[in-house]
Amino acid sequence: MHLMILGCGKTGRLVAEVARARHHKVQVLTSKENRAACALTPDHLQNVDVVIDFTTPVAVLENVEACVRASKTMVVGTTGWYQELSRVRQMVEQGGTGFLYAANFSIGVNLFFELARTAARSLRHDYRGQIFERHHANKKDAPSGTALTVARIIREASGAELEITSFREGEVVGMHELVFDSPADTIYLCHDAKSRLAFAEGAVRAAEWLAGKKGFFDFEQVWSEL
C-alpha cells in the first residue's frame, strides 16, 4: 500500500519505520509542509491508499475535512479532538470514505480496556474507583485520550463517573492506572508502555485492515481481528 503519514514527531517517525518494514510505500508530511491541510489536495493524494494522522488536536479537523473531500481513507491516532467526534462521523458518513480512530492503538491497552470493563463491577460492591495517567512533559492534551476512554468504559459498565488525575513529566511514554479501593482491599490495574512501538504497529495494522473499507470505526471494534 501507499501510506501517507501526517506528523513527524516521535510516534509519526516510528509509524513510518514500521510501515516500511512491512513493505509499504511511505510518504511523510511535516506540519510545515501541511499547514492548514494545504498539501492534502486530491491531486497530491491521488495514489495514496490510507492517510495516517499523528499530528496535533488543532490540525486533525482540517486534515479530516481535506481527506474526506479527496475521498481518502484515514486512520487517526491523534487525541484531544473527541469533542468533535459526532461532526467527524457525519463528515465521513456523508463523504462515503473510510475512517478509523483510537485513543490508543496498543493491543495491550485494548486488553486493559476489557479488564476495566470487567473490573467496573466492583463499584457495585462498596469499592470506589480512580484513574491515574502519566505522560511525557510535551503531551498536548490532559487527560489523555486513553484515560478518557477508560472513564467512558467504566461509566457505560457501571454508571459511575471516575476522577482522572493527570501527570506530565520527563519522557514517560504512557502509564495508566485504574484503582478500586474498599475498606477490605485495593485492586490495581496498570498498563505501562515501555516504548511507542506498540502504538506504531497498531496504527499500521489498522491501516492495513481499513484499506478498501468504507465507514466509521473505532479501534476497540476491530483490534481483536488483527
The CATH number of residue 75's host domain is: 3.40.50.720
Please choose, from the candidates 79, 93, 109, the residue with its C-alpha nearest in 3D space to the C-alpha of residue 7: 79
**Residue 165 sits in which domain range?**
107-192
DSSP-assigned letter for residue 120: G
For residues 155 and 82, state if they share a domain. no
171 and 87 inside one domain: no
pLDDT value of position 100: 97
Task: Output the pLDDT for position 103.
Answer: 87
Same structural domain for residues 150 and 188? Answer: yes
Q: Give the separation between CA 221 and CA 80, rounded to whole angstroms.
A: 20
112 in the same domain as 53: no
Asked whether residue 70 falls in the same domain as residue 97, the answer is yes
Examine the domain organization and report whether 94 and 145 are in the same domain.
no
Percent of the chain with pLDDT over 90: 91
Residues 114 and 83 in one domain: no
Tell me the percentage of the chain whose pLDDT exceeds 70.
100
Identify the sign of the CA torsion 24, 18, 7, 62: positive
pLDDT of res. 205: 95
Q: Which pLDDT score is estimated for 225?
A: 83
72 and 119 together in one domain? no
DSSP 172: -
The whole-number pLDDT of residue 102 equals: 93
Report pLDDT for 38.
94
pLDDT confidence of residue 50 = 97
Looking at 2, 24, 44, 139, which residue is catalytic?
Answer: 139
Q: Is-catalytic flag, 25? A: no
**Residue 109: pLDDT above 90?**
yes
Residue 174 sits in the same domain as residue 99: no
pLDDT at 20: 97
My answer on whether 166 and 221 are in the same domain is: no
Can you give the pLDDT at residue 110? 92
User: For residue 188, what pLDDT is reported?
Assistant: 97
Number of domains forming the structure of the chain = 2
pLDDT for res 214: 95
- Mean pLDDT, the chain, integer: 94
Which CATH number does the domain housing residue 187 bear? 3.30.360.10
pLDDT (0 to 100) of residue 94: 95
Rounded alpha-carbon distances, angstroms, from residue 39 to 6, 59, 66, 88, 204: 10, 13, 9, 20, 21
pLDDT of residue 222: 86
| 97 and 205 in a common domain | yes
Tell me the mean pLDDT in the region 79-105. Answer: 94
Q: Which of 135, 136, 213, 214 is catalytic?
A: 135
Q: Is the pLDDT of residue 178 over 80?
A: yes
Reported confidence tier of residue 140, pLDDT bands at 50, 70, 90: confident
Is the same domain home to 95 and 185?
no
Confidence at residue 224, expressed as pLDDT on a 0 to 100 scale: 80
pLDDT at residue 200 is higher than 90 = yes
Q: Are 95 and 69 in contact (CB under 8 A)?
A: yes
Give the largest CA-CA distance in the chain. 63
Per the annotation, the verdict on 139 as an active-site residue is: yes
Q: How much is the average pLDDT of 32-47?
A: 94
